[in-house]
Structure 1
């Protein structure tokens, strides 16, 4: 199997070696009388052996394997085969009796042992080639871990190879996935399939990558049993085929796992519905001598001060005890997972009933309190009402008819339980009074939402109930839209209630922990609108160095500015920012208004970008700094919003910017825009007779060279020249297109052309 990650098998070890040095391998169990038998028909091989996972992913690092064929057949990977031992290889009568089968090809390891604690445990995996086709629906090989007292001739075997907390045996028929309908391995016979069975204990169907040569296997299972410390027991580990020798099976037992253990009982967790109740104390007791050495751990972290045979956890976690049975080297381990349930939330309650004719007794309907005392929590239940705390705690002598309970003034108790059986109690005060509820003044509020429509939501329990006058303390109310619903106690209003009739609406209150003598109370809800005109947010412009008055209308009951100015409708702002004023009307309703004060200042023109010699594409871009909203002009008369001017004619300009909201003018920048004419007409009429650069006197030193269409130089000029009249050697040149080169002293070069027209 070079290159395969599979287990290895060593069947040269004796039963004594397999039990003493591999399976038990600890001083916490005393072992004797070891025996083993199995396959004697395969030369040079045994059906029990030592195994090692090597580099594979098998769950156990090492251990002992018992198989219904030569143990070497267990080496993976899985290969579909019928397998088989030998028809002359006998079964085991004890296994037959325990499982009710007719076994063949049995393999057994058995021995006596004496435990040092009252609990025994070891880990194993059952694997089988019966996990093929429809076989798990009908067939399973048999295996068992049979244990009995060794010195009692009347003792009977107990099978430890059973499902957790059950008596059902572990087998391929009891632990299987869902088998879908299909055809037999040879493809000829159809079968119906069968449903899953205890699938949580099935690890899965194996493939060609499996480290063992079996079609399927269980998860890691645990065999366990209470025992009596110091008593001798006999255990028989046995596996066999049922009826015929084909489709083999094996059981793998983890090395070192056969040991005495400390048993703290099943886990106390929420997942298995058995947490420790809130406030309850539990003690983990090893029941061992105080002379031993004890170490206690929570979540694998040592608890330093815990050195006694017992420990009482106070919060959730995994707790473990390690006990060294000094002076021996035996170390015993016990572990348990513990959750603590949350505290059950309950509320004490008062129930008021009206006495008739000063009678000191009245009839109470305790069922009205069912949801009140458990705060309407759905996952806890009311387990009855009791006249004494002792009865509530013991859950005895419950009040038989809580909906019709006659009593004087006194305190009774309710028992509230969660789904785990934990409980707490609520105290209920029963009071008899002779009062009725007077008429109530209207309950007023302001319409504080975004739409002033006279509709607003109330927290009835927080805003209305505490302010109902003339009632005893502790009276609770449910509200209804009309008296019919209130009388029938149906269609109660939600606690967060938004009125359905604008500005004013009557709802009806009924005391649920009092008696009917309090009647149905009309409650008038009044919603005051407050929506003063012109009260939207406003933006105010402030020039740098100035101040501005922020003013709202007079006549409100009060004013409150967030800057500290109170009881005035005007404040003066000298800095930018948000100023918020809250006004109140005579009903106490508030409205807030925000003034956003923006600061502006005159602009500063810092530079210009001039595009010239471009005809209609000449442009000027004004660069500026400042905080404000500006408009711009090249002549101080005509203004525009953008600082970029296009199609600028050649000329001299005085650029300026002004703040739109009146914060002043900027500085002035002198700008020259230079260009050349695109044509001239030297005909002596006084118009366009000369071609020259416009505003040339403002330019740095330059030289202009003019050429005809053939590249002949016909004129040279500089900024002192008066222009060109169209002559060359005192002769008029013909109408045509001419080209020029304008070369500045700084190296800038402008080229263009123009027309001479006659």
Structure 2
């Protein structure tokens, strides 16, 4: 049983190996150049070959050109390969360890390739070349380029070169290279087709990578499962060129290593893909961005001589079958409807039938509308300035997919797209009712030419009365703002058709060209009077342009500043302004130039002049009355710091006095001398004086001299007898009571127990019956 299992495993492995091997291409290097060209590359009775040659690796049994067959994992099922190493090395899988390649020092390059690619000193060239004559007007074939240079940083710097070179046989003209990127002259190579290459760190340092180049044509890197033994390859590409039927050309297919002879490359050409066909160019479709314009005829021309060919024309039906077009046998056919068309051109007396095929689509018709523009004329000569772009959306029926491609004075210029009007936003017509032409195009460049008639408006807006306002700000400079839509527009539109739109401009020219429109809230720039221009428009048409005078009246009466007045309680006061104004409106309802008021408050009068401009003056009436003194706060017995503070009530602005002659604003008096005062308050606004209030300011002497000379012989407090009952006690420095006095005593003479006391300092206490207590000391001097 164990042996059976081993045999089964061996059997499965043996079965799997050929299958895996079959995924790789199989190369046959034992083939002649004639077989490669006639039986592998070309499969057409419409191409005649001669002078077929091939060259390559000089090493025996290591031919560098060959045929190949492939499985499903390769784009071509068969074909031919030209390589810079023995062709057998092209068989997969890809082995990275062996990718450095074959170097044969005796294997030379190719001068024609060097000249075509602009390189020097190519090496190890393989060439297949021949003369051919095509019986139709184009040839093409499919290929891909593979290289072991698709690794590391090499595509940033190195690439082997290859080219498909063609020219007229026997001529000295330069070759044309067909192995180029689509729609360009850039040769296909590892340096022109690759993805992003990252930087690489080597023993010599960091080698910078490079950005991708034409990455869409890079098919990818290969691996150990690849059917070919190359590191990477391009997508399938097509070599194509037009030819002249019957003319002999020389074609040279060549590939070569760069000067290093390392990391070999190959070009694979699809077997049977070299064909000669009738070329009508690329399909004329929306997908190709080149459909035929609506209304145009499209001629399919084989450019073949009807004496040598028989022609059949076909159109594909909805079931995807070609149906021959009856009666059409000419070398050209005019297409008038969309479809897929085919021609078969059979060379008389041969089996060669050349085929041409093309898909044709037509664009939809471009809808357009002829229109007119109606402009105003400032001098009735029929000539004005038109903004032609106002018709832009009208002529193309507001279709956003259609573009305006200029305005022209003649139909021929519009059709040929020459001599466009340079500034269509400001075009001066040459003649009354002139026609101009708009060219409109779809996204494919198809066009139509609608016409625009330039007419002059014959409608008239009557002359307008000035629009007046008053200068309503503080500075009466004759400059003030107008709300044009509410103050001016209603007057203009009176009696005009509905639907008109009014815009305003500083000048008539601006109104005609509709430039620098004024804002709705417009402040005049010329004091007192300024003329602006109103443009009435009906849609894009001008109805008329009319001047409007804007007048700003100033009103700055003299002596009209706000006032503050004082009203004595119980009185009345007259408020007045100058006479001569059109009207007066007082805040209390009076309508003359004056009014009498009996209460305080804010009053105002608004006066109106002959221009109906108004000015307002405000009177602030403040109530005032005599003060009532309610009390006095006295600070006495303090020497120079004696003060008197008057306490009062009343609504007024007061000044104060101790003796009735000298007044001050402050109700507090300082440094008051001892004495008897009648304090009072007086209203500054003339509303009278307050009640009088009696005040006593007392103080004691700081020394006395009892020497019987008639001066300071007694120590006493002046005016104390006017005060409530009191008791004065006098002490020596040791606190011994020496004397007590009351309102019945005249003072102390410095005697105690009949003896004169010595000069010294003595103390006293003053005790009023109301509880007030004063202490101090004084000196007795002898």
Common fold: TM-score over 0.5: yes
Aligned to 1:3: 19
The within-5 A match list for 1:237-252 is 237-252=253-268
Q: Deviations over 1:215-249 (max 9, x none)?
A: 21122222222322222222211111111222111
Aligned to 1:405: 428
Q: Within 2, Cα distance between the matches of 1:298 and 1:312?
A: 16
Structure 2 CA distance for partners of 1:425 and 1:244, relative to 1, 3 Å: same
Task: Return the offset for 1:388.
Answer: 3.2
Q: Alignment partner of 1:233: what SS?
A: strand
Contact map agreement 1:346 1:426 (CA 8 A) in 2 = yes
Structure 2 CA distance for partners of 1:488 and 1:224, relative to 1, 3 Å: closer
Structure 2 CA distance for partners of 1:315 and 1:6, relative to 1, 3 Å: farther
Aligned to 1:121: 140
Structure 2 CA distance for partners of 1:10 and 1:478, relative to 1, 3 Å: farther
Task: Return the offset for 1:379.
Answer: 5.1
Aligned to 1:157: 175
- Structure 1 window deviating more from structure 2 (348-357 vs 118-127): it is 348-357
Q: Within 1, Cα distance between the matches of 2:201 and 2:342?
A: 50
Does 1:287 pair with 2:303?
A: yes
Contact map agreement 1:356 1:434 (CA 8 A) in 2 = no
Which of 126, 142, 159 is the aligned partner of 1:140? Answer: 159
Contact map agreement 2:245 2:304 (CA 8 A) in 1 = no
Q: Within 1, Cα distance between the matches of 2:18 and 2:380?
A: 100
Aligned to 1:517: 544
Which of 355, 367, 374 is the aligned partner of 2:389? Answer: 367
Q: Deviations over 1:610-631 (max 9, x none)?
A: xxxxxxxxxxxxxxxxxxxxxx
Task: Return the offset for 1:282.
Answer: 1.4
Which of 45, 65, 68 is the aligned partner of 1:48? Answer: 65
Does 1:353 pair with 2:375?
A: yes
Contact map agreement 1:437 1:469 (CA 8 A) in 2 = no
Task: Return the offset for 1:59.
Answer: 1.5
Which of 188, 208, 230 is the aligned partner of 1:170? Answer: 188
The within-5 A match list for 1:553-702 is none
Q: Within 1, Cα distance between the matches of 2:345 and 2:371?
A: 51
Task: Return the offset for 1:263.
Answer: 2.1
Q: Alignment partner of 1:392: what SS?
A: helix
Structure 2 CA distance for partners of 1:132 and 1:471, relative to 1, 3 Å: farther
Aligned to 2:86: 70
Q: Within 1, Cα distance between the matches of 2:296 and 2:516?
A: 39
Q: Within 2, Cα distance between the matches of 1:242 and 1:302?
A: 50
Aligned to 2:690: none
Structure 2 CA distance for partners of 1:395 and 1:146, relative to 1, 3 Å: closer
Task: Return the offset for 1:355.
Answer: 5.2
Contact map agreement 1:124 1:253 (CA 8 A) in 2 = yes
Q: Deviations over 1:82-119 (max 9, x none)?
A: 22242222222322232223222211111111121232
Aligned to 2:447: 423
Q: Within 2, Cα distance between the matches of 1:13 and 1:247?
A: 25
Q: Deviations over 1:150-171 (max 9, x none)?
A: 233x333222212222222111
Q: Within 2, Cα distance between the matches of 1:389 and 1:316?
A: 29
Q: Alignment partner of 2:298: what SS?
A: coil
Q: Deviations over 1:480-510 (max 9, x none)?
A: 9x99999878899xxxxxxxxxxxxxxx984
The within-5 A match list for 1:221-620 is 221-290=237-306, 291-298=309-316, 301-305=321-325, 307-308=328-329, 309-314=331-336, 319-354=341-376, 359-378=381-400, 380-402=402-424, 403-406=426-429, 407-436=431-460, 510-515=537-542, 517=544
Q: Alignment partner of 1:264: what SS?
A: coil
Structure 2 CA distance for partners of 1:488 and 1:227, relative to 1, 3 Å: closer
- Structure 1 window deviating more from structure 2 (213-222 vs 265-274): it is 265-274
Structure 2 CA distance for partners of 1:27 and 1:83, relative to 1, 3 Å: same
Q: Deviations over 1:705-730 (max 9, x none)?
A: xxxxxxxxxxxxxxxxxxxxxxxxxx
Structure 2 CA distance for partners of 1:51 and 1:431, relative to 1, 3 Å: same
Which of 26, 30, 33 is the aligned partner of 1:15? Answer: 33
Q: Within 1, Cα distance between the matches of 2:497 and 2:389?
A: 21
Contact map agreement 1:106 1:239 (CA 8 A) in 2 = yes
Q: Within 1, Cα distance between the matches of 2:236 and 2:517?
A: 57
Contact map agreement 1:362 1:408 (CA 8 A) in 2 = no
Q: Within 2, Cα distance between the matches of 1:294 and 1:512?
A: 58
Task: Return the offset for 1:140.
Answer: 0.6
Does 1:112 pair with 2:126?
A: no
Aligned to 1:566: none
Q: Deviations over 1:549-596 (max 9, x none)?
A: xxxxxxxxxxxxxxxxxxxxxxxxxxxxxxxxxxxxxxxxxxxxxxxx
Structure 2 CA distance for partners of 1:126 and 1:232, relative to 1, 3 Å: same
Q: Within 2, Cα distance between the matches of 1:223 and 1:400?
A: 45
Structure 2 CA distance for partners of 1:25 and 1:366, relative to 1, 3 Å: closer
Aligned residues: 470
Contact map agreement 1:511 1:518 (CA 8 A) in 2 = no
Aligned to 1:219: 235
Does 1:102 pair with 2:129?
A: no
Task: Return the offset for 1:311.
Answer: 3.0
Contact map agreement 1:68 1:85 (CA 8 A) in 2 = no
Structure 2 CA distance for partners of 1:382 and 1:221, relative to 1, 3 Å: same
Task: Return the offset for 1:331.
Answer: 2.5
Q: Alignment partner of 1:294: what SS?
A: strand
Structure 2 CA distance for partners of 1:305 and 1:335, relative to 1, 3 Å: closer
Q: Within 1, Cα distance between the matches of 2:179 and 2:150?
A: 19
Q: Within 1, Cα distance between the matches of 2:348 and 2:63?
A: 39
Aligned-residue Cα RMSD (Å) equals 3.7
Q: Deviations over 1:334-368 (max 9, x none)?
A: 34454434443433222123456765444433232
Structure 2 CA distance for partners of 1:400 and 1:135, relative to 1, 3 Å: closer
Structure 2 CA distance for partners of 1:322 and 1:87, relative to 1, 3 Å: same
Contact map agreement 1:124 1:254 (CA 8 A) in 2 = yes
Q: Within 2, Cα distance between the matches of 1:478 and 1:149?
A: 73
Q: Alignment partner of 2:544: what SS?
A: helix
Aligned to 1:199: 215
Q: Within 1, Cα distance between the matches of 2:158 and 2:497?
A: 76
Contact map agreement 1:510 1:519 (CA 8 A) in 2 = no
Contact map agreement 1:122 1:223 (CA 8 A) in 2 = yes
Structure 2 CA distance for partners of 1:248 and 1:284, relative to 1, 3 Å: same
Task: Return the offset for 1:471.
Answer: 6.7
Q: Within 2, Cα distance between the matches of 1:194 and 1:431?
A: 63
